[in-house]
Amino acid sequence: MTVSPASPIAPAALVSPDPRVPLQAAPDTTSESYRQAYSRINGVVVVGETLAHHHFRRLARAIPDDGAELLRLGQMEGNHARELSACARNLGVRPDIRLAKQLFAPLHQLFRQCDERGDITGCVVIQCLIVECFAVAAYRSYLPVADAFARPITAAVLEDESQHLDYGEAWLKQRFAAVQAAVSTICLQALPTTLTILRALVDDMRVIGMDPQELLASFGECFQEALETIGYGSSEAARLLRRAMAT
C-alpha cells in the first residue's frame, strides 16, 4: 500500500458534538487545552501501538510459516509505542492510558475471541487491515499539524504502517475465495468499534489541529483500497464499508 493524500469520501457520521471547538491551523502546544487533548490522543496512539505489538506476536504463533516476519512487524510496533511516547514526554504531557485501554477494549476483545477460536482471518483483518488503516489515516491526518519533534517520528511510523497493511493484504489476497465471507463478517463486527474510538476523540482532534472528517475520509479510502486489493469488486467493497460504518 502506498501512502497517498486523503480523498473526501467520508459518510456524514463523524460530526463534532461540539461545534464551538474550532479547527486550529497552528495550535499552541503549551496551552492547557492542547496538553489535555494531546494526553488523550497520545494515550490512544500508545495503547494502539502496544496492542498491535501483542497482536503481531499472537499472529506469529498462529501463522508459524510467517513467524519471523510477523515478529519483525510486531517489534516495529513496540518501537512505535516507545517513539510516540517520547512525543508526549517532549511536551511534558502524560498519556491517558486508562481511557485509551477502555476505548480499545472491545476491538482487542474481538481479536482475542478470533484468536481463541482459531479464526486467523478475523485476526488478520482486525490487526492488519482495520488497525493499520486506522493508524495510516490517523498519522496522515496528524502529520501536517505535528510539532517539530513529533513530525519526523510520525512520518517514519507512517511508512512502517503501510508495510503492515501490505502483509495483511497479501495474506488475504492469496486465499480470497476461502476467506471472503469471514472477512465481511469481521468487518461488520469490528469497524463500528473502531469508529467509536474515533468519535470519542473528535473534539480533542480539533483542539490539536486535526480534522476528524478528513481522518474518517482517509480511513474509508484506505480501507476501500485494501478490500479491493484483496479481491473485492469496487462496488462490493463500498457496500461493505457503508454497511459496517452505518452499524
Which residues of the chain form contacts with Fe ion (CB under 5 A)? 49, 77, 80, 132, 161, 164
- CA-nearest of 58, 79, 56, 78 to 168 is 56
* For Fe ion, the closer CB: 107 or 207: 107
Name the residue nearer to Fe ion (CB basis): 52 or 240. Answer: 52
Residue with Cβ nearer Fe ion (27 or 74): 74
In the complex, least distance from residue 56 CB atom to Fe ion, rounded to whole angstroms: 8
d(CA 55, CA 146): 27
Give the nearer residue to Fe ion in terms of CB position, either 194 or 213: 194
User: Closest CB to Fe ion among 27 and 122?
Assistant: 122
**Shortest separation between residue 139's beta carbon and Fe ion, angstroms:** 9
Taking the least distance from each CB to Fe ion, the nearer of 77 and 96 is 77
Q: How far is the CB of 80 from Fe ion (least distance, A)?
A: 4
Q: How many residues does the chain have?
A: 247
Residue 83 Cβ vs Fe ion, minimum distance, rounded to whole Å: 9
Closer residue to Fe ion in complex, CB, 58/164: 164
Question: Using H for helix, E for strand and C for coil, what is the string for the chain?
Answer: CCCCCCCCCCCCCCCCCCCCCCCCCCCCCCCHHHHHHHHHHHHHHHHHHHHHHHHHHHHHHHCHHHHHHHHHHHHHHHHHHHHHHHHHHHCCCCCCHHHHHHHHHHHHHHHHHHHHCCCHHHHHHHHHHHHHHHHHHHHHHHHHHCCCCHHHHHHHHHHHHHHHHHHHHHHHHHCHHHHHHHHHHHHHHHHHHHHHHHHHCHHHHHHCCCCHHHHHHHHHHHHHHHHHHHCCCHHHHHHHHHHHHHC
